[in-house]
């Protein structure tokens, strides 16, 4: 339950707009997950996505290390979207145009997926309209 409580704390800080505290709370989630590996959240994707989206440049290296660790855990189109979008936004901020463009294109491709592939849950794990601002940024990067 610690993982879920810490994750709720991180989301609360994020919704309040307190990004520094949100990042710290997400890092606490990661520490708890390391201690209890059977209790997993989506923090390994949500934290880098938050860092990239909000341009928290002091955390870029940390975000990229998380993405590298979680590459094999991607399942849903949303996972691929968040992973590639995070990489694209960070690469763009660092002036790496080729990487930004390649990852933006891959993120946009994941955002276009319309069915999960699951028989009874066809819309689980899809990219929703709440990501429209990021999608617009990615379109500019992919052009």
Q: pLDDT per residue over 61-114, tens digit each? A: 999 999 999 888 898 999 999 999 999 999 999 999 999 999 999 999 999 999
Mean predicted confidence (pLDDT) in 19-30: 96
Q: Which residues of 40-50 are buried (b: 16+ CB within 10 A; e: fewer)?
A: ebbbbbbbbbb
Q: pLDDT per residue over 1-18, tens digit each? A: 789 999 999 999 999 999
Sign of CA dihedral 121, 119, 125, 111: negative
The pTM score is: 0.93
**What is the C-alpha R_g of the chain?**
15
pLDDT band at 40 (very low <50, low <70, confident <90, very high): confident
């Amino acid at each position: 339950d610690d993982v879920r409580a810490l994750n709720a704390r991180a989301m609360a800080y994020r919704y309040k707009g307190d990004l520094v505290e949100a990042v710290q709370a997400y890092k606490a989630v990661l520490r708890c997950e390391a201690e209890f590996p059977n209790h997993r959240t989506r923090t390994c994707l949500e934290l880098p996505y938050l860092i990239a989206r909000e341009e928290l440049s002091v955390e870029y290296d940390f975000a990229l290390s998380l993405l590298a660790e979680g590459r094999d855990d991607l399942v849903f189109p949303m996972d691929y979207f968040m992973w590639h979008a995070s990489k694209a936004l960070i690469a763009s901020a660092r002036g790496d145009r080729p990487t930004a463009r390649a990852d933006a294109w891959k993120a946009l491709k994941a955002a276009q997926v319309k069915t999960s592939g699951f028989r009874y849950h066809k819309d689980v794990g899809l990219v929703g309209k709440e990501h429209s601002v990021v999608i617009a940024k990615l379109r500019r990067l992919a052009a």
